[in-house]
């Protein structure tokens, strides 16, 4: 039955595209109006589609929001892994590239950050969000840990605690995201990146001098 297969493929494809379109509309709406006042009408209007469509594709608002967060996390992961694969044998370069990724568009973009923070703000109250965010954080953390460990193996850093530095590095970028969101006027990507670099230089002089 070749026809059946083709049919299923086409349908799931278009289905997937509609879902993505709705998710993108949701992101825009959250960024514009805030998570607590976004309505399904807003999302439908933003997408140029009808009221009922969201429930047709996502069954509920709750589910739409969870899928939106998943989509954000997958986007981040994709970019992250792309950089990881670029220079597999250069931990110092990879680490710097990852930090730069975090501090440049499309990751470090006020609209997208607003959506991340919106979900973080509900993490304690909504277990679904907590799981998705925790999973992302832990994966990120483990990879940073390995990179930092590699640097420690390569250079001579007797006083560096690997776990502490990895944790500090990810906190540093997270905190800069908050600056970008709250103080867009004052915030400067260049200064932020300079801050990260100065930290790397201070901790790993052999690699980043």
Judged by the rule CB under 8 A, the positions of this chain that interact with a copy of itself are: 31-37, 110-111, 114, 117-126, 130, 133-134, 137-138, 141, 160-161, 163-165, 167-168, 170-176, 178-179, 181-183, 186, 191-192, 194-196, 198-199, 202-203
C-beta of 32 vs 86, nearer to a copy of itself: 32
Token duo for residue 180: 């970008």
Q: Is 32 in the site for DNA (CB under 7 A)?
A: no
93/121 with CB nearer a copy of itself: 121
For 17-23, the CB contacts below 8 A with 24+ separation are 18/53, 18/57, 19/57, 19/58, 19/67, 20/71, 21/47, 21/49, 22/47, 22/49, 22/53, 22/54, 22/57, 22/58, 22/64, 23/64, 23/67, 23/68, 23/71
Residue 11 in tokens? 């349908």
Task: Pick between residue 16 and residue 62 the one whose CB is nearest to a copy of itself.
Answer: 62
Selection from DNA, a copy of itself, none that 155 binds (CB < 5 to 8 A by kind) is none
Cβ proximity of 203 and 142 under 8 Å: no
* Binding region for DNA (CB under 7 A): 3-4, 6-7, 10-11, 14-15, 18, 37-41, 49-57, 59-62
């Amino acid at each position: 039955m070749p026809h059946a297969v083709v049919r299923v493929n086409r349908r799931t494809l278009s289905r997937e595209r509609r879902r993505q379109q709705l998710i993108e509309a949701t992101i825009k709406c959250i960024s514009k109006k805030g998570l607590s006042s976004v309505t399904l009408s807003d999302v439908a209007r933003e997408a140029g589609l009808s009221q009922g469509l969201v429930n047709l594709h996502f069954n509920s608002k709750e589910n739409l929001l969870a899928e939106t967060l998943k989509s954000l996390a997958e986007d981040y992961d994709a970019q992250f892994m792309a950089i990881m694969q670029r220079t597999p044998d250069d931990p110092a370069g990879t680490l710097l590239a990852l930090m730069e990724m975090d501090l440049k568009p499309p990751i470090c973009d006020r609209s997208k950050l607003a959506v991340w923070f919106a979900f973080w703000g509900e993490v304690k109250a909504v277990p679904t969000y907590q799981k998705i965010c925790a999973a992302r954080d832990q994966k990120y953390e483990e990879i940073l840990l390995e990179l930092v460990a590699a640097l420690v193996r390569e250079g001579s850093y007797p006083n560096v605690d690997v776990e502490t530095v990895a944790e500090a590095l990810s906190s540093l970028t997270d905190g800069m995201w908050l600056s970008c969101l709250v103080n867009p006027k004052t915030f400067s990507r260049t200064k932020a990146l300079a801050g990260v670099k100065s930290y790397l230089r201070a901790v790993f002089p052999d690699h980043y001098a």
